[in-house]
A and B are shown apart, each in its own frame.
Chain A
Amino acid sequence: MASTKVPEVRDITRIERIGAHSHIRGLGLDDALQARQVSQGMVGQLASRRAAGVILEMIKDGHIAGRAVLIAGQPGTGKTAIAMGIAQSLGPDTPFTALAGSEIFSLEMSKTESLSQAFRKAIGVRIKEETEIIEGEVVEIQIDRPATGTGAKVGKLTLKTTEMETIYDLGNKMIDSLSKDKVQAGDVITIDKATGKISKLGRSFTRARDYDAMGAQTQFVQCPEGELQKRKEVVHTVSLHEIDVINSRTQGFLALFSGDTGEIKSEVREQINAKVCEWREEGKAEIIPGVLFIDEVHMLDMECFSFLNRALESDLSPVLIMATNRGITRIRGTNYQSPHGIPIDLLDRLLIIATSPYTEKETKQILKIRCEEEDVELSEEAHTVLTRIGLETSLRYAIQLISTAGLVCRKRKGTEVQVEDIKRVYSLFLDETRSSQYMKEYQDSFLFNETQTPSMDTS
């Protein structure tokens, strides 16, 4: 039995996902670079935010390309938040690439390759494209075909703007492309002077009533203003990596489809660098050093660190911002201990910003901001209880409880989260301390338990 399959039509509602740092809109600094206590989603950390603000200004002025910054502090003290704040205040014009330290370990690409790709994604090149165009509304097209049917056609095209009108004599080629594009009186067209390419922008509003029936795709536009022969300039910002990819596509469309560009030869990169430098000297390009943010930088190993050392010295280098929550620990890939798990020689090149744990008042404020972000109403007592939980366990745990408590509250059809809801989720979900407590009590009944394991190896 054959049955035609009816295509299922599903209405996909867009789900706004709320990320851990979606409430951050900037660094929250005033014009004198002083940090406001609560602003743009940032709370507390006044000293480190001010430091980040100074760095931000230097990035904006293009002063510190090729430098590196390390944001160090305990877990949950707003390191990523500060980096996000920097990214937000840089605006869309400065390239910002974020990556986690563990992202570079992949089977398809070597570590240094993915690092150099990340570096080159963080450098923008601004270029300008300039075209001379003729833009106007077609008043009349008149084409004279020879009576014999063969031979050169001649024609005249009348174009106008709101200010002027003129007649162009048409050659054979132009007539062909005009009739191919079905250009008729009332269309607004542009003609590229260099290539002779015609593009239809739409129909003029003044001719909207010419026909009663028109396709839905007919677009109406205003008759162009100003002169007929215009100069159009478009400024593009592309990243060095994008130029690399285009130039390394030796295998044609394959790279496009798989989405995997693979490794890019260093010769290609050198060629691109040379070309871009040439453009810069000719005044054809501006280089915008962007920001590369590496979170969890202690996950990088020794080879990556020495690569970073080298890459920072290149003259096309972005600002590198790293974040780590480790103290003195083993550098990955070696047996040496070092502060932040970063080799001393690299550490020596860094500007270090420290973050400190939040106070009770700040914790309360952050929880309030998160509640607003996650659309959960919290009663005053519940807020106080949650703040205590946040102080005694961790801020992250308290933030997790917001949305879960919100769900419990909705289940009992309440509008505001009460202390009971918090208590309930607190008993449902263990925090890290209670969880390890539980493990210690019942470790005998778990599989594969090894009592004498030391605490987690952090490398």
Chain B
Amino acid sequence: MDAVPVRVLEYLTEVEEAAEDVLTTKQQIVDLDTKRNGNREALNALKNEMSDSEKVKVCFGNMFIKFPKSKTREMIQKDQEQLDKEINDLRSALKAKVNRLNVMQGKPELRGYNLSALSTDEVRAINNLLKR
């Protein structure tokens, strides 16, 4: 007998789940970007401030370990590449998730977001059209 309320509840749960999913992904991107910026700062510090020392102290979890500088830099750079890739993947996934949420809520799908972007040269060429 209570088929309708149950269905409404199910639907709302589904929408909430999708929305939660979007928010989690956003937070994840923020966290990864924080890490990325931290790494970037570390690389700068290695280059500028630690230029004379042979070994540096690196914090792993809650422990400091003395580590050769070149090795450290290599490690961070690898981590950085990994982060860049991960953030890009998350961003693409975010788009699909937002679209799914929109469909569920009966909102129109975002148009044109599945296009690949114009290259910088092409953008420059038609720039005065775009900046009307």
Residues of A within 8 A of B (CB): 93, 126-130, 163-164, 166-167, 169, 194, 226-229, 231, 233-238, 242-243, 246, 279, 282-286
B129: chain A residues within 8 A (beta carbon): 236, 238, 242-243, 246
Binding site for A on B (CB under 8 A): 26, 29-30, 32-34, 36-38, 40-41, 44, 48, 91, 111-113, 115-118, 120, 122-123, 126, 128-130
B126 neighbours in A (Cβ, 8 Å): 127, 238, 243, 246
A33 to chain B, nearest CB (A): 19
Bound CA span A282–B26, Å: 29
Nearest CB of chain A from residue B77's CB, rounded to whole Å: 16
Say yes or no: B115 contacts A284, CB within 8 Å. Answer: yes
Given contacts A229-B37, A246-B129, contact A163 B30 (CB under 8 A): yes
In the assembly, what is the distance between CA of A235 and CA of B29, in Å?
22
Cβ of A284: which chain B residues have Cβ within 8 Å of it? 115-118, 122
Q: Do A93 and B116 touch (CB < 8 A)? A: no
Distance (whole angstroms) from the CB of A424 to the closest CB of chain B: 50
* Known contacts A227-B33, A243-B129; A166/B117 CB under 8 A: no
What's the Cα separation between A235 and B115 when bound, in Å? 9
Chain B residues within 8 Å of A130, by CB = 117-118
- In the complex, are the beta carbons of A166 and B38 less than 8 A apart? yes
Q: What CA separation (Å) do A74 and B117 show in the bound complex?
A: 49
Contact status B116-A283, CB under 8 Å = yes
CB <8 Å contact, B37 and A128: no
**16 CB < 8 A contacts A-B:** A126-B111, A127-B112, A128-B113, A163-B34, A164-B34, A164-B37, A166-B40, A169-B48, A194-B120, A226-B26, A226-B30, A228-B37, A229-B36, A237-B112, A246-B128, A246-B129
Q: Tell me the bound Cα distance from A279 to B30 in angstroms.
A: 33
Known contacts: A128-B112, A128-B113, A169-B44. The answer to whether A231 contacts B33 by CB under 8 A is: no
Q: Of B30, B40, B41, B115, which contacts A283 at CB under 8 A? A: B115
A226 and B29 form a contact (CB under 8 A): yes
User: For B37, what are the chain A residues with a Cβ–Cβ distance below 8 Å?
Assistant: 164, 166, 228-229
Q: Which residues of A contact B30 (CB under 8 A)?
A: 163-164, 226-227
Q: Are B33 and A129 in contact (CB under 8 A)?
A: no
Among residues of B, the one whose C-beta sits closest to the C-beta of A236 is: B130
B29:A233 contact, CB within 8 angstroms: no
A56-B111 Cα distance, complex, nearest whole Å:
19
- Extra contacts, 13 of them, besides A127-B126, A128-B115 (Cβ < 8 A), are A93-B111, A127-B115, A128-B116, A129-B118, A129-B123, A166-B40, A226-B30, A227-B34, A236-B129, A236-B130, A238-B126, A283-B115, A285-B115
